[in-house]
Amino acid sequence: MSEGLSRRSFIKLAATAGAAAAIPGCEPAARNLIPYVVPDENVIPGMPTFYATVCTECPAGCGLVARVREGRVIKLEGNPADPISRGSTCARGQAALQEVYNPDRLAGPQIRGQNGFETASWDDALKTFNGHLGTASKAGKDRVAFISGPLGPTQTKIAQLWLGAYGSNRFVTYERLADNAARVAAKASFGRDDLPIYHIDQADALISFGADFLSTWGSPVEFHRQYAAFRTPKQRHGQLTLARATYVGPLMTMTAAKCDEWVATSPGDEAAVALSVLNVLVKQGWVSRNSGIDLDALRKLVVDFEPASVAQKTGVSAESIMRMGESFGQSESAVALAGTDDPALHNAVAILNAVTGNVGKTVVFAEGGPAPASSPADVEALVKAMAAGEVDVLVVAGGNPVFSMPVAQKFNDAIGKVGFVAWLGTVPDETAAVAHLRLPTDHSLETWHDTQPRAGVHGLGQPVMVRVFDSRPLGDLLLASAHAGGAKAEQVPWENTADAVNAAWQDLGTKAGGTFDDFWEKVRRDGGHFEDVKAASVSLDAKIFQAYVPAPQPPAGLAVVAVPHIFFYDGRGANKPWLQEIPEPVTQLVWDGWVQVHPDTARSLGVSQNGIVELRTDAGVISLPALISEHVRPGVLAVPTGQGHTAYGRYANGKGANVWSLLSGWGKVAAVKARPTGDVRRLVSPLFRADQMERGIVQTISIDDLAKGVLPPSDEPVPPQPYEMYAPFAYPVHKWAMTVDANSCTGCSACVAACYAENNLHVVGKDYVEIGRVMSWIRVERYFPPKDKADEAPLMQVAPMLCQHCDRAPCEPVCPVFASAHTKEGLNQQIYNRCVGTRYCNNNCPYKVRRFNWSLPEWDEPLNLQLNPDVSVRGAGVMEKCSFCIQRITYAELNALIEKRPVRDGEVQPACVQACPSKAMTFGDEDDPQSAMMQRRIDNKLRRYLVLEEINVGPNVTYLRDIYQTKGKA
């Protein structure tokens, strides 16, 4: 974004464009028109501009495209050019906007005074900053320390140089959810410092040992795409089969729910189960000969892990273990994933993958991976140093260690020992609360940065908008400070981050060939530089069999497990209202924390639903309302991470409790004592019933029936239009419609977040969700099969439910004022400014997808700057609903009109379709049989169904049945 657009004029534009956020009414939008002094050639007022950048919400590093209107980023979308996101995002990525515009963001530098923090000028703040650094560096070497979340290569370099300028190399990156055990195992079993790249899509069988790869583990968006491919039925040995997936772990996570089988183990038993599977493989002789490992050692390793004995020890049924073994051994290629913090498990899984010859196929180590992040040991070393008073100045730039650091580290005491703590970041968190100096830094969307999530992927993040607050880029701050600290120009050659990034990409450019300007142009357009990776040839280290240490026995009695929350991650997402309001996919709970308890455990504890449970470990004690559910192993208390903030902004504070404070070590498991306190706090969900009472909202078909080409007897297809009283209308131009594949949908709710962002939906809070006033236009229908049907159904049935734009929409003829009517392109239009609010349409909507504005929508400044100017903000008293993103449809149609061409297939993509990481939804024109949407219907004739088809309202959203594997079959 060029400099032509001054901050001042940006604010003005925001003012005028922000008028779109006014309440529908007859008041004129804005009274004044303020012209640019010099127009910005990149900006056409009233038209969106797109910039490629990179997401920094989690280490996955997805490529993004930011849609910018009048200098404000209003929507984030996946970058199709990016090999990781491939044009999709997750809910967290969508919600990154709410950090940029977060009302709790630090507005300017603050210095701690007698009474709390006092705002200071940048000059004073920087003087204090550099002053302390100067004295510290004079005091000796390594008196300055730097902690941050994972940084990109360039920013890491800058930080290290800056430290160097102050004679220190205490550089530590801290990521609580980093897969440390995996790194240890990779080193031990393959002698690698980097993590492998997984190709789930190329596997025929999958076993995940506690790796929740669809929500938080590794690179969820990429895994969504791969898993969708993995689960599409394929012809194997001349028969249509469904690749089998099994999840082993204490809690039925979202990933587990989308697998064929969830094997409930106590935390820590996963390793035993893995070895038992290995035992099956060895006994069955399914160990590939050419994997070149000595079988005797292997036999010795697995000998005492007979399925029977393991089953008897862990309570896992031997059949499940056999099934896993068979599916894994009999498939040409398979993949096993390990997600717990138990190195033994990771070793076992490494062996599992290796001996079946899958390393190099589905598990690939690549040359030129990113430099490894700091290990727990590094962090511990630093904390020790701090505690010992060897650190005078600590600079924290993210990671929020105070919130999530293992209790045993006593980080809070250690940080107290540090003379001067400076916190650099966007939204002040618990760590900022204990700092002496707070400097507001730019959000990654406001500054230059780069990422290297894995080998061959170099993401380039460019500033997509002028900063909202009086913040500065982290890199610029450090560079300036380094220069102030007397760094030589040859050591620290750059003035600001932009130069640094540019310089860093020079050699990439030279490697790529061609002139740098072309390269630079290209990477800025593509959002990075992507090259094919060369697979490194690795072999299993024979010592691993001896090196193997048996798994630590799981804690006797109750165990608490911290489950990474799909939206809050380690806790960084908690202050984003969208993420609080969107229900967690499996439990469907909002705005709170909870402890998930198995009915049996609950009975023995005397806990009832919503009853507050006090959890006490050697590290600490928290209280949370209980969620009684079958989806957790008895004896296990599962608590989602991320809630329980005390100083992280208005949306996060005082919600739930912080499970990290129960864990003394780096793991996520601890022995716990639990007792009901007798208090009650209602857990709130927008969904009422969890069983669909055979109403066929989310329908399923077994792979056997699919292979046979027959439908389950229960649902013979109703003839398309049985009894028509009137001749159907023709839609000559377009007939917009959607196809939704329930088999690909995981319930991750990225679509919901995207809808919130695109259509200016406002959040209503816990109380209103409870009485049915949630505003989301699209929701995830989540159902569990009744017990008696459990064998003939998937573990969980999910599908997005949105307005079906029925041809014979029941909502239309009941509206007395034509606020709800049909367009000539087959859309069911809801005209907000015509609506008088009788709410009859919603009463008559069988899908209950219409939403009524019970109150006047409000956004805390400056969250309203994110509002989409192309969509009206609805006032109180009007009905609203999914519009298939009409603003995008008209935008595309106008482009086509002006370029005198028809609208291309796929040119229109509603926000939900665009965001869906597993591409479960396809949007297109029903008039065009060649469109991808229609093709998807034609290719899946057997799986096609309409929700509530029998009432014959002619929905335009066609669903495809979820495919399940009949239990007890491999």
Partner 1 sequence: MAAAVKDINLDPTFADIDRSVRAIMEPPGLRYWLWIGFLLALTLTGGALWTNQIYNGLQVTGLGDPVMWAVYITNFVFWVGIAHSGTLISAILYLFRTRWRTAVYRAAETMTIFAVATAGLFPVIHLGRPWFFYWLAPYPNQRFLQPDFRSPLTWDFFAISTYLTISSLFWFTGLIPDVANVREIATGWRKKFYTIVALGWQGSDRQWRHFSMAYLLLAGLATPLVLSVHSVVSWDFAMGQLPGWHSTIFAPYFVAGAIFSGVAMVLTLLIPMRWVMGLEDLITPWHLDNLAKVILLTSLVVSYSYIVESFMAWYSQDPIELMTFHMRYFGPWGWMFWVMVACNCVIPLLLFSPRIRTSTVPLFIITIFVNIGMWFERFVIIAGSLATNFEPSQWRFWHPSITEMGITVGAFAWFLMLFSLFARFMPIISMTELKEGITWLKQALRQGYAKAA
Partner 2 sequence: MSAEVELVGAFADEERLVHCIGQLKAAQTRFRVFSPIPSHHINSAIYTRSSFVRWFVLLGGITGIVTAFMLTIGTSLEWNLVTGGKPIASIAPYCIIGFELMVLFGGISALTSWILLANLPTFEPLSGYRPRFSSDEFGLVVRCAEADAERFESVLRDAGAQEISREAA
Partner 3 sequence: MNLNLNRTLLTLALVMFAAGVGVIAFSQRPWAPRFDVQQPIPFSHRIHAGVNKIPCQYCHEYARRSSTSGVPPVQRCVGCHGSQKSGGLLPVTRPWTDTKQSNFEIRWNRVYTLPDFVRFTHRPHINAGLACQTCHGPVETMERIQPVHEINMGFCIDCHTKRGATQDCYVCHH
Instruction: Return residues touching partner 3 (CB under 8 A).
Output: 6, 9, 12, 19-20, 22-39, 44-47, 818, 821, 823-825, 827, 829, 831-834, 870-873, 883, 886-887, 890, 894, 897-898
Question: What does 19 interact with, of partner 3, partner 1, partner 2, none (CB < 5 to 8 A by kind)?
Answer: partner 3
Query: Counting contacts by CB under 8 A, is residue 817 touching partner 1?
Result: yes
Contacts of 280 (CB under 8 A, 6+ apart): 286, 307, 321, 322, 324, 325, 326, 329
Q: Shortest approach of partner 1 to residue 586 CB, angstroms? A: 14
Question: What does 45 interact with, of partner 2, partner 1, partner 3, none (CB < 5 to 8 A by kind)?
Answer: partner 3
CA dihedral 799, 801, 805, 809 (to 10 degrees): 120
Query: Counting contacts by CB under 8 A, is residue 808 touching partner 2?
Result: yes
- Kindly tell me which residue out of 52, 145, 809, 920 binds partner 2, with binding defined by CB under 8 A: 809
Q: Shortest approach of partner 1 to residue 698 CB, angstroms? A: 10
Please give the Cα distance from 293 to 302 (Å, whole number).
14
Question: What does 728 interact with, of partner 2, partner 1, partner 3, none (CB < 5 to 8 A by kind)?
Answer: partner 2
At 842, the amino acid letter reads N
Give the phi and the psi of residue 889 in degrees, each rounded to 5.
-60, -50
Site for partner 1 in 770-789 (CB under 8 A): 771-774, 779, 781-783
| Stretch in the footprint of partner 2 (CB under 8 A) among 81-89, 341-349, 543-551, 806-814 | 806-814
Please give the Cα distance from 6 to 71 (Å, whole number).
10
Query: Counting contacts by CB under 8 A, is residue 825 touching partner 2?
Result: no
3-class SS letters over 606-649: CCCCCEEEEEECCCCEEEEEEEECCCECCCEEEEECCCCECCCC
Helix (H) or strand (E) holding 799: strand 797-801
Query: Counting contacts by CB under 8 A, is residue 520 touching partner 1?
Result: no
Site for partner 2 in 904-963 (CB under 8 A): 954
| Per-residue x/- track, 855-874, partner 1 (CB under 8 A) | xx------------------
Transcribe 670-717 into DSSP letters.
EE-EEEEEEEE---B-S---SS-TT--SS-EEEHHHHHHT---TT-PP
Transcribe 269-317 into DSSP letters.
-HHHHHHHHHHHHHHHT-S-GGG---HHHHHHHHTT--HHHHHHHH---
Question: What does 954 interact with, of partner 1, partner 3, partner 2, none (CB < 5 to 8 A by kind)?
Answer: partner 2
Query: Counting contacts by CB under 8 A, is residue 877 touching partner 1?
Result: yes
Please give the Cα distance from 400 to 570 (Å, whole number).
9
| Stretch in the footprint of partner 1 (CB under 8 A) among 36-44, 408-416, 734-742, 764-772 | 764-772
Question: What does 33 interact with, of partner 1, partner 2, partner 3, none (CB < 5 to 8 A by kind)?
Answer: partner 3
**Contact of 763 with 577, CB cutoff 8 Å:** yes
Please give the Cα distance from 269 to 816 (Å, whole number).
63
Q: Shortest approach of partner 3 to residue 449 CB, angstroms? A: 30
| Per-residue x/- track, 671-700, partner 1 (CB under 8 A) | ----------------xxxxxxxxx-x---
- Kindly tell me which residue out of 818, 836, 894, 939 binds partner 2, with binding defined by CB under 8 A: 818
Question: What does 772 interact with, of partner 3, partner 1, partner 2, none (CB < 5 to 8 A by kind)?
Answer: partner 1
Query: Counting contacts by CB under 8 A, is residue 834 touching partner 1?
Result: yes
**Contact of 850 with 774, CB cutoff 8 Å:** no
Question: What does 278 interact with, of partner 1, partner 2, partner 3, none (CB < 5 to 8 A by kind)?
Answer: none
Q: Shortest approach of partner 3 to residue 967 CB, angstroms? A: 47
Site for partner 1 in 878-897 (CB under 8 A): 878-879
- In sequence order, which ranges of 148-233 are alpha helices (DSSP H)? 153-165, 180-185, 220-231
**b/e code 910-924 from CB counts within 10 Å (16+ = b):** bbbbbbbbbbbbbbb
CA angle in degrees (0–180, nearest 5) for 515-516-521: 110
Nearer to partner 2, 513 or 720 (CB): 720
Helix (H) or strand (E) holding 530: strand 528-530
Residues that bind partner 1 (rule: CB under 8 A) add up to a total of: 54
CB atoms within 10 A of CB 725: 5
Q: Which residue has the tokens 């007395």?
A: 816
Q: Shortest approach of partner 2 to residue 892 CB, angstroms? A: 23
Q: Shortest approach of partner 1 to residue 858 CB, angstroms? A: 12
**Contact of 552 with 670, CB cutoff 8 Å:** no
- Kindly tell me which residue out of 36, 516, 530, 768 binds partner 1, with binding defined by CB under 8 A: 768
| Stretch in the footprint of partner 1 (CB under 8 A) among 266-274, 403-411, 436-444, 854-862 | 854-862
Please give the Cα distance from 871 to 578 (Å, whole number).
18
Q: Shortest approach of partner 3 to residue 756 CB, angstroms? A: 17
Query: Counting contacts by CB under 8 A, is residue 22 touching partner 1?
Result: no
| Stretch in the footprint of partner 1 (CB under 8 A) among 165-173, 184-192, 643-651, 814-822 | 814-822
State how far the alpha carbon of 168 is from the alpha carbons of 161, 406, 418, 811, in Å.
Answer: 9, 25, 15, 68
How distant is the alpha carbon of residue 812 from its chain centre? 37
| Stretch in the footprint of partner 2 (CB under 8 A) among 58-66, 272-280, 582-590, 726-734 | 726-734
Question: What does 213 interact with, of partner 3, partner 2, partner 1, none (CB < 5 to 8 A by kind)?
Answer: none
**Contact of 246 with 256, CB cutoff 8 Å:** no
Query: Counting contacts by CB under 8 A, is residue 951 touching partner 1?
Result: yes
Question: What does 726 interact with, of partner 3, partner 2, partner 1, none (CB < 5 to 8 A by kind)?
Answer: partner 2
Exposed/middle/buried for residue 884 (C-beta within 10 Å: 0-12, 13-18, 19+): buried
Beta bridge partner(s), residue 425: 440
Site for partner 2 in 250-279 (CB under 8 A): none
**Contact of 779 with 801, CB cutoff 8 Å:** yes
Q: Shortest approach of partner 2 to residue 828 CB, angstroms? A: 10
Question: What does 809 interact with, of partner 3, partner 1, partner 2, none (CB < 5 to 8 A by kind)?
Answer: partner 2
Q: What token pair was written down for 631?
A: 């989806």
Nearer to partner 1, 542 or 951 (CB): 951
| Stretch in the footprint of partner 2 (CB under 8 A) among 251-259, 802-810, 862-870, 934-942 | 802-810
Closest CA to 739 of 950, 931, 948: 931
**Contact of 252 with 632, CB cutoff 8 Å:** yes
Closest CA to 264 of 27, 561, 61, 40: 561
Nearer to partner 2, 822 or 839 (CB): 822
| Stretch in the footprint of partner 1 (CB under 8 A) among 540-548, 705-713, 755-763, 842-850 | 842-850
CA angle in degrees (0–180, nearest 5) for 131-132-136: 120
Closest CA to 560 of 595, 520, 511, 585: 595
Q: Shortest approach of partner 2 to residue 719 CB, angstroms? A: 17
Site for partner 1 in 571-610 (CB under 8 A): none
Question: What does 851 interact with, of partner 3, partner 2, partner 1, none (CB < 5 to 8 A by kind)?
Answer: partner 1
Please give the Cα distance from 762 to 756 (Å, whole number).
7
Question: What does 9 interact with, of partner 2, partner 3, partner 1, none (CB < 5 to 8 A by kind)?
Answer: partner 3
Nearer to partner 3, 736 or 784 (CB): 736
Residues found near partner 1 in the complex (CB under 8 A): 687-695, 697, 768, 771-774, 779, 781-783, 801, 810, 813-818, 821, 834-840, 842-844, 846-848, 851-856, 876-879, 948, 951, 953
Residues found near partner 2 in the complex (CB under 8 A): 726, 728-729, 807-810, 812-813, 815, 818, 820-822, 954
